[in-house]
Amino acid sequence: MSKTVVVTGAAGFIGRNTVAALNERGLENLLLVDALGTDDKWRNLVGLRFADLLDRSDFLGLTKSRKLTDIDAVIHLGACSSTTERDAGFLLENNYRYTRLLCEWCLEENIRFIYASSAATYGDGSHGYSDDDASTTTLEPLNMYGYSKHMFDLWALRSGLFNRIVGLKYFNVFGPHEDHKDDMRSVVNKAFHQIFAGDQVTLFKSYRPEIADGEQKRDFIYVKDAVNVTLHFLEQRSVGGLFNCGTGVARTWKDLATAVFSALGLQTDIKFIHMPETLRSKYQYFTEAEVKKLRKVSGYTAEYTTLEDGIRDYCQNYLLMRYPSLEHIAPNLAR
């Protein structure tokens, strides 16, 4: 039997899609790790093929006791991903300390370690979006979630580990199997459900005079592309480093909402709403990944799915399949 690949956060959004992609590549000797809790996140595991499933605390205990053997790689995607989480101690323990313990175990056991960082580490973007090591030390995250991710990036950098491990700064990922994320779902998913309910799609107003409502920009990446980048480093074992996982092309929220309506064959209908005051000082008006390091250093050559194509695939081949009774809003596309 081949060695085992571990995927943490396996029932989560990117985790679930990563496991499915590994299955498509013929890999089934997988150890999935997650804290399933009492919600319906477990449904993301249905249909996946894997060897075993462990709670995150049980998995950590096995690593500490050195009872896990024949592990080939750990793809560490498990974390608290809420940008509005205010429990700093929880984020410190869950996103920094846990990641560090897993990394140290992998290094001791010569196990490939790939982990999720975040574009939230870039803060307001005033220091740019370069994933070069020299730029990493200058970054100032706007929230504790981003800082908890940044702490591990800095620790790995100071420890000289990026020649052996890989960190991925995921930008705005959207796609299938994110329904369990509640308010942290992508705006694509939220917009679809607003349309399904017969409502307008709501976007935040801009609070900068030079930027019109809906013209705030993000680097949106389809989850299939984010997974392809992730698994690229499972194959390219000689490559290490901290890399952006985005498309390198910023698009507006208005572009995104328009693409959702277009995918459903509908006229665009957007309403701009006030942003909560608690978010205004922490809001990113622009993100765009620099991807030359990913291209040149790691050798990743695949083309990215366009925003319109990704949203069309997501809406028509996933969301509409789950909500077939759409005659009242999209009669030409209803399944």
Q: Return the active site residues.
A: 145, 181
The pair of structure tokens assigned to 334 is: 């209803």
What is the distance between the alpha carbons of residues 28 and 41, in angstroms, rounded to a whole number?
21
The CA-to-CA distance between both ends of the chain, in Å, stands at: 42
Whether the Cβ atoms of residue 294 and residue 238 lie closer than 8 Å to each other: no
Q: What is the CA 1 to chain-centroid distance, rounded?
A: 31
What single-letter DSSP state applies at residue 11? T
Contacts of 31 (CB under 8 A, 6+ apart): 4, 5, 6, 7, 50, 51, 52, 53, 54, 59, 68, 71
Length of the chain equals: 335
Q: Phi and psi dihedrals of 31, rounded to 5?
A: -105, 115
What is the distance between the alpha carbons of residues 111 and 105, in angstroms, rounded to a whole number?
8
DSSP sequence for 229-277: HHHHHHH-TT--EEEEES-S--EEHHHHHHHHHHHTT----EEEEPPPH
Contacts of 294 (CB under 8 A, 6+ apart): 131, 229, 243, 244, 245, 300
SS3 175: coil
Interhelix angle 307-314/253-263, nearest 10 degrees: 40
